[in-house]
Structure 1
Amino acid sequence: MSAPTVDDLTHEWQEWRRGREASLSDPHGFLAVTSLNWLTEEPQRFPDAPGEWSTGPEGPTVVLGPDEKILVDGVTRIGRHAFGVIPERDGIDVVWGEAVIEVARRGGFDIVRPRHPDSARLQAYTSTPAYEPQPRWVLEARYRPFDQPRPVKVDAAVEGLEHIYQAPGELSFEIDGQPLTLTAFEGRTPGSLLVLFTDATSGVTTYAANRSLPVPVPDEDGHVVLDFNRAANLPCAYTPLATCPLPPPENRLPVAVEAGEKTPHQNNEI
């Protein structure tokens, strides 16, 4: 593997950083979340969302008041609206005035998570500090697929909640001559991977609970590049209203990965 030049690495990293900051500053992103509500069979009304919400075997339902309306897939809805069964880690965005109401399923539970552009957390956000990119953190790795994807149960940022992710294989690499291995989960696009990890910087200069690293599709021989300069915070680094997964125990690296995003300035104290 030919090492990237410092100029190329820096330019690409800066583009990545601009995209990250744009996502974090999105008026309906995670910093705009104002509450996390767990649905039950008993109808509930929340102060930052319209209607009375409940769930059951057929999925979440909202019953709107006489003066309330929402947009679902661009269609105005009034009265009662049933969303149907929502798959795990999926969700539906409902528009209510300037707000977006996220209706989703996390850890086997249906949730309602309103997102308001004027949220205090979003208004207070400035930027996320990060290590300057260095070529030494662009590492060659070898991907070894398992015979069958393995369901891996991991804890969540919300106490008592668990997630199950499919792990198709593991990644082996070295840092300063030390052999290391990470369990990889399925990525956002077919064949890509995602790694959740902590390291010796966690709780010191980087967020204590987790960071994530997207991994491109390995080649036919299992070769792939890990660019730890793009190690990113998950939403739980910014808000206690997130249900982020924690890394499996084997992904707690004993070395200091001084690359990628650091602990946010505001963290999740608001």
Structure 2
Amino acid sequence: MSTRDVPLATAASQVVDPEGFAAEWEAWHRAKDARLAAEHGFLAITGLHWLTAEPQHVPDAPGLWSTGPDGVLVELDEDTELVVDGAAVRGRHLFGVLPERGGVNAVWGDAVIEVARRGGHDIVRPRHPGHPLRTAFTGTPAYAPDPRWVVTGRYEPFPEPRPTTVGATVEGLRHVYDAPGRVTFRLDGRELGLTVFNGHTPGAFTALFTDATSGVTTYAANRDLRIDAPGPGGEVVLDFNRATNLPCAYTDFATCPLPPAENRLPLAVEAGEKIPRERGPVAG
């Protein structure tokens, strides 16, 4: 079967148990918020610090931090210890050259000092469990789950993955991802499409998008929709009830990518997560 033989049809008719559908969504949403608010999750980050060749003190972290051709370096005070990959380190420690979108977590007491590389720059982000953003978190507001926002679509691979440069929520920063293809689908009588990036599991995808709710009831910069690996003929399922905020929706200390320009949907996707309470009023 050709990928073009897969119909662009709604999958809502396949949902026969609305109560079960809602309960499954609630469990998924609680688990997602729990990961966000984990002891050293994104809500525990107290700052975003860009490293240079000049050694600098980083608030909420020990030592002097710098970067250079050999990678990230920290020089600790005599009585200070970090635990890196299970081993205690003291004095001068070279983390080495980090891969793009990679990182290392160094444990410091009850805190974690994240050392990472984003957009070609080395950064340090301390994560403290007692950070007020984390301790005051009460969950993410969201639209009530509705089966009508579950649709089937078709994955159309590009002949070759396309290097795709997108902006970031940090001004001047750029991210480059390989886009393996595009997902097309029909929603509210319209034929639509989203360029996708590779997901967190083999064969899966992630689609960054905005829509007519962005900046009104949902976060203005982006939302993320994860899509399981295609079935026979390239068929995929898009459940917009599971459109989530990226960390930048909650904190200014994230470097989240923006969607590709073609991923603005020309309709209101009134499904999934809304603007976090931490960012102000939520309309609707």
| Shorter-chain TM-score range | over 0.9
* Counterparts of residues 33-52 of structure 1 (less than 5 Å): 33-52=45-64
Q: Does the alignment pair 1:162 with 2:180? A: no
Q: Which residue does 2:4 correspond to in 1?
A: none
Identify the match of residue 56 of structure 1 among 50, 53, 68. 68
Structure 1 residue 268: Cα displacement: 7.9
| Alpha-carbon distance between aligned partners in 1 of 2:69 and 2:198, rounded to the nearest angstrom | 28
Structure 1 residue 67: Cα displacement: 1.1
Q: Which residue does 2:99 correspond to in 1?
A: 87
Residue 106 of structure 2 aligns with an amino acid whose one-letter code is V
Q: Does the alignment pair 1:115 with 2:127? A: yes
Identify the match of residue 18 of structure 1 among 26, 30, 55. 30
Tell me the TM-score normalised to structure 2 length. 0.92
RMSD of equivalent CA atoms = 1.3
Secondary structure at 2:161 match in 1: strand
Q: Which residue does 1:261 correspond to in 2?
A: 273
Q: Which residue does 2:187 correspond to in 1?
A: 175
Contact 1:100–1:114 (CA under 8 A) maintained in structure 2: yes
CA deviation string 1:209-234 (max 9, x = no partner): 10001100002310010000000000
Contact 2:119–2:175 (CA under 8 A) maintained in structure 1: yes
Q: Which residue does 1:232 correspond to in 2?
A: 244
| Alpha-carbon distance between aligned partners in 1 of 2:240 and 2:226, rounded to the nearest angstrom | 9
CA deviation string 1:38-93 (max 9, x = no partner): 11111111121011111111211111111111000111000111111111111111
Identify the match of residue 246 of structure 1 among 258, 265, 282. 258
Structure 1 residue 14: Cα displacement: 1.1
| Alpha-carbon distance between aligned partners in 1 of 2:261 and 2:132, rounded to the nearest angstrom | 34
Tell me the TM-score normalised to structure 1 length. 0.97
Q: Which residue does 1:212 correspond to in 2?
A: 224
Contact 1:238–1:268 (CA under 8 A) maintained in structure 2: no
Residue 32 of structure 2 aligns with an amino acid whose one-letter code is R
Structure 1 residue 8: Cα displacement: 2.8
User: Structure 2, unaligned stretches of length 5 or more?
Assistant: 1-10
Structure 1 residue 106: Cα displacement: 0.2
Q: Does the alignment pair 1:190 with 2:185? A: no
Structure 1 residue 253: Cα displacement: 0.5
Q: Which residue does 1:72 correspond to in 2?
A: 84
Q: Which residue does 2:15 correspond to in 1?
A: 4
Structure 1 residue 25: Cα displacement: 1.7
Structure 1 residue 121: Cα displacement: 1.3
User: Structure 1, unaligned stretches of length 5 or more?
Assistant: none
Contact 2:199–2:206 (CA under 8 A) maintained in structure 1: yes
Report sequence identity in percent: 60
Structure 1 residue 259: Cα displacement: 0.5
Aligned residues: 269
Identify the match of residue 40 of structure 2 among 9, 14, 28. 28
Q: Which residue does 1:106 correspond to in 2?
A: 118
Structure 1 residue 20: Cα displacement: 1.2
| Alpha-carbon distance between aligned partners in 2 of 1:64 and 1:235, rounded to the nearest angstrom | 30
Q: Which residue does 1:148 correspond to in 2?
A: 160
